[in-house]
Structure 1
Amino acid sequence: MKVAFLMAPEGVEQIELTEPWQAVIDAGGTPKLISTRSGKIQAFHHLDKGDTFPVDQTVADSDVEDFDGLVLPGGVANPDFLRMDPKAVAFVKGFVEAGKPVAAICHAPWTLVEADVLRGRTVTSWPSLRTDIRNAGATWVDEEVNVCDAGPAKLITSRKPDDLKAFCTTFIQEFGA
C-alpha cells in the first residue's frame, strides 16, 4: 500500500500528519510526502511552529496512478494554501475520479470543497467548515469518523485531532491494508 500525503509547504497540523503516517507504516504501507514545493514542509502545533519534514516529491511530479490512496492532514493554513494551487486541487480530484480512497481530517475537507468532489456526499470536519461543505452540495455530520461511499471513491473524514485514533483505524481498513 503506497499512500500519498498531500500538504502545503507550511501550515499542516503536525499530529494530523505524524499519526496517520505512522498508521500507514504500522500497516506495512509506504507513505510519501507530496507538496507543492520541494525541500521541507513546516508543521505546526496549532499556531506554534513544530518540526520540519522532507518532501518526497512535488505534486507536479506525482501521478495518482502511483498511489493506492490519499491522506489530507488538516491545520487551518494547510488546506487553504492547497486550495489556491491548481495542481494540488487537480491531484485531489484525480484520486476521486480514479475511484481511489481519500482520507481528510479537521480543516482538510476545504481542499475537497475546492476540488468540487463533495456534491451528494456526507462528510464531517472541523465545525467551522460546515457551511462551506453544505454550499459544496454535501451533507455535514458531527461524527468522530464518517465513511462515505456515495461516489466514485470512498471519503473517510474526521473532525479533529481527538478523533485521530478512529480516523487512522478506519482509513487503514478502507484503504485495504
Structure 2
Amino acid sequence: MIYVFIADGFEEIEALTVVDILRRAELTVQMVGVSSKTVRGAHGISVLCDILDSQTDLADIEMIVLPGGMPGTLNLEKSPVVQAFIQYAVERGLPIGAICAAPSILGHLGLLDHKTITCYPGFESQMPLANYTGSACEQDGNIITGSGAGTAMEFALKLVEHLKGKERAELLRAAVGYQ
C-alpha cells in the first residue's frame, strides 16, 4: 500500500498528480486525510480522501508520499501519525517521497543529512547538511524528492520508476503524452 498523506493547505497538483500517476501504474494507493477525510488544498480545492489517518496500518505500507504546499507541510509535520509512518519507513528501508516544502519535514528529522535532494527554492536552508541540487527531482537511496508543483509529473514518474522499473515509467510517460 502506498499512502499519500494529505493535510489542510496541501498543494493540489503535487498530491493529485502523484495519486493519478501511481494508480495508472496499477499501484495500490490511498489518499490519507490527516485529521479529516475532506481536506482543503492551498488553492481552495477540497478533496475527499480515501481514508483517515486513524485508519492506516503501519504493517501495510510499501511507500509513503508527502505533498508540499503551505500550510499543508506544517500540518503534515505536526501529525503524530505522519511522524510514526516516517519513522517506520526509515527503520525498514521503505521509500519515502516528498515534494516542494515537504522535504523539510525529513530534513528536520536529520534524514536528509549528506543526501542529494531537491525541494522548493528557499527551503534548502531547512536542510543545511543536505546536498541541494535545485533539480526537478532527485533520488538518493530510498528518498525521492521533487522541487514543486511544476515538477509533480516528473516526481510521480520517478516514484513509479522506483517501484515498477524504468520501462514501466517510460511507458506511462508516453501514455499520458508527457515529454
TM-score of Structure 1 vs Structure 2, range by shorter chain: 0.7 to 0.9
Identify the residue that residue 167 of structure 1 maps to in structure 2. 155
**Shift in Å, 1:55:** 4.5
Unaligned regions of 5+ residues in structure 1, if any? Answer: none
Among 78, 81, 103, the alignment partner of 1:84 is: 78
Identify the residue that residue 4 of structure 2 maps to in structure 1. 5
Identify the residue that residue 126 of structure 1 maps to in structure 2. 120
**Shift in Å, 1:40:** 1.3
- Higher strand share goes to which structure? 1
- Higher helix share goes to which structure? 2
Identify the residue that residue 57 of structure 2 maps to in structure 1. 63
Give distance in 1, aligned partners of 2:135 and 2:116: 11
Q: Does the residue aligned with 2:59 lie in a helix, a strand or coil?
A: helix
Q: Does the residue aligned with 1:96 lie in a helix, a strand or coil?
A: helix
Give distance in 1, aligned partners of 2:109 and 2:79: 11
Give distance in 2, aligned partners of 1:52 and 1:87: 20
Q: Does the residue aligned with 2:93 lie in a helix, a strand or coil?
A: coil
Give distance in 1, aligned partners of 2:156 and 2:58: 21
Q: How high is the sequence identity, in percent, across the aligned residues?
A: 23
Unaligned regions of 5+ residues in structure 2, if any? Answer: 166-179
Identify the residue that residue 24 of structure 1 maps to in structure 2. 22
Give distance in 1, aligned partners of 2:71 and 2:87: 20
Total equivalences in the alignment: 165
8 Å CA contact 1:71, 1:102 repeated in 2: yes
Q: What is the TM-score with the length of structure 2 in the denominator?
A: 0.84
RMSD across aligned positions (CA): 1.7
Give distance in 1, aligned partners of 2:153 and 2:79: 30
**Shift in Å, 1:162:** 1.3
